[in-house]
Structures are given as C-alpha cells and as structure tokens.
Amino acid sequence: MNPDLVAIVPCEDYRPESCDAALNAVLEPLGGLQWVTPGMRIAIKANLVAAAKPEKAVTTHPALLTALTKLLIARGASVVIGDSPGNLFNATVLNRVYSVAGLEKAEAAGAELNRDFSEKEAYDADAVQAKTFSYTGWLDGVDAIINFCKLKSHGMMSLSAAAKNLFGVVPGTKKPEYHYRFPDPNDFADMIVDLDTYFAPVLHLCDAVVAMEGNGPTQGKPKQLGYLLASKNPHRLDVLAATLIGLTPSEIPTIAAANRRGFTPLTAEELTVAGDWKSFVRDDFELIRNRNSNLFVNGDTLFGRAAQGVLNVCLTSRPKVKRGACVGCGRCRDVCPAHAIEIVKGKAIIDRKYCIKCFCCQEFCPVGAMRVHRTAIARMLTH
C-alpha cells in the first residue's frame, strides 16, 4: 500500500450515519484500521484550541470523534482524546473545553477524555529547529496517535490542517514562547515539521465537513465544504487541503518546509489521491494569504538583503485592531510573547517596534477584534 496516498470522500453533514459511512469510506483506501489490535491504547489528538460550540467550526466535530472512537473500540482498543488549548493546561480549562465542544458524546461512546496534565521535555537530535521542546505528557502512555484536525484558515501559517495540529502537543501557556523562539514563519514551520516527525501519528484525518474561513483559526466563519480527508502523510494531506480551498501549497510555510525535507511535492497533481478531488475545489473560500518575502528574494547579496527588507515592510501581513471591536479584555496583551501590546483607555494598542507578527493576539482574541492586515501592495500582487 502506498503510504503517501491521500483519500477524500464526501460527508455532507454531522449526522451519526453520515460520519460512520464517511469514516469507513475514507479509511478503506488506506487499509482501514487493520493495524489496530486488541489491547492497544490509542490517542486521538483532536483540535480543541478553545472552548467553542461545534457549530462555530473551531474544533474537530464531536460527531466525527465519536464515530472514530466506536470504530477503534470495536477492534479492541481503548481510546483517549486530548489536546492542549491556547490557555492553561489544567482540569478547569480542559473540562470547560470538553463540555462546550460537545465531547461528552465521545465519552459516552467509550472514549476517555485526557486528564493527565503533566508536562515533559524532549530532545531530538535530528530536528531542524526544535531540538528541545516541551510536550504534554499524556501522549507518553499510548501505543499510537491519530491526528484528527479541523480545516481552517490561519493568521500566521495561512492554513491550519494536519501539520499545524501537532503544535497542540506543546502545553498551552508555553505556545507563545515558541512563537518568540521562532518568530520567522519559515523557522516556525520547520519547528512544526519537527513535531510532526517526532510524534509520527500513524494516521491523519481532516474534518472539512464544515471548515473555517476568514479570521481563523478561532474567530473566522463556518464554511460548508462537505468532505473528509485522510492520509498517513500529514504534509501530502495539507497539499491537497490547501489546493481545495484555493491556496498555493508552496506559499504555506509548513508545506514548503516539508518539501525541503522531501516529505511532499508542492502540487496536488503530483499526489496519489483516492477520490475525485477536483470536484471538491472551491474558489469562494475566504483566505488569509500571509506572504513572507523570504519566499522570493535572495538574501545572500547586499542588494538582496536590502530588497528583502523593503519587501518585509511592503508585503508582510501584520495584526491590526478592528475599529470599534476591541472590548479591552487584555487577552491579547497576556498572550503576546513579545509584550508588544498595551491596553490604553480600554483598547488594545500594538507597538510595532516589538511586534513579531506571530498572530497569537489574532488567534486568541475572544471577540475577533484582532485581524490579519495585508498591505495594499500585497493585495494588489495577489489579485
């Protein structure tokens, strides 16, 4: 069987019968769940970035997590579902996320919801960027990991899908530290690929029944797409996912980083796909194109470095406070790893001298007041 195969099947809604049928269909080209044996303990690493109701399209839908849980338990495995949201990694925060995100359905089906809040340290000599990193200890006690992501737009990476979902292994309050360690999107992307390689989930699934467009990954708009994706290779899955919503895969930093290591081609046409993927392509998905000038300027020469500096100013997206939307809660200030935000007269003010453009403020703003702002020149070049 081709380990790089990507499968796509329709799934029109989250009714139990739809989820059951779609999961079985998308797994079949990959050999189903034949690798699961009685007694295995399997972690489902979901996207549970925030306490959001399923209809908001922020998190992996509980109907799909429930359907997968039933399939795994039917093969004699035990199941634990978890993630580390962008907040404190403790029982108070996680129990609320589980409740609001509707995971009691998966728990009723036999899954355990993770309540091991230990943190561990790892060293990976083969990593490109993240040779040392912190991770959530619950993943140590499992025999295999299934990565079940949600298809969403993303402020910093443009795309949140299989590869980006593994950033959730980093404990919540430490995530901003990693943005500060790796402020360049290319370095941050290499760090994500390091995590993908280190934890090596046996299977990657993507919930694109209802995706998130616009101001993702937490404050965008639900978008009905109607399909599931599956692969044993997260980066090839992401190439197809990006193509389906109108993004150019080579412009996604995580995909470019994976391509440099030989993990994936850069076009969907080079993939081996089970399913009629071209019938799912959309041209009406509201995107975040966060171009980084490193992608098209040679910085090895004096002229190249000067040109790169100009392009960084002219093309690089940055967070911006939407007029009239900020409520002055201070969440952006608290999560900013560069301490570039103050609350002045009840409104967030960004100090551009210190902003590293990590978009933590945009990701965790509870009212969607922080937006990805693209310069006029960048908008002209991509239209």
**Residues 310-331 pLDDT 10s:** 545 555 678 889 888 999 999 8
CATH topology of domain 293-381: Alpha-Beta Plaits (3.30.70)
pLDDT on residue 297: 39
C-alpha span between 253 and 243 (Å, rounded): 14
C-alpha span between 92 and 110 (Å, rounded): 22
Residue with token string 């902003």: 355
Radius of gyration of the chain (CA): 20
Q: Which residues of the chain are in CATH 3.40.50.11440 domains?
A: 6-280
Global pTM?
0.85
Structure token pair of residue 105 = 């359905």
Confidence tier at 290 by pLDDT (50, 70, 90): low
CATH number of 6-280: 3.40.50.11440
How far CA 12 is from CA of 60, 134, 137, 213, 321, in Å, comes to 15, 38, 36, 18, 35
Tens-place pLDDT, residues 196-231: 999 999 999 999 999 999 998 999 999 999 999 999
Confidence tier at 298 by pLDDT (50, 70, 90): very low
Q: Which residues of the chain are in CATH 3.30.70.20 domains?
A: 293-381
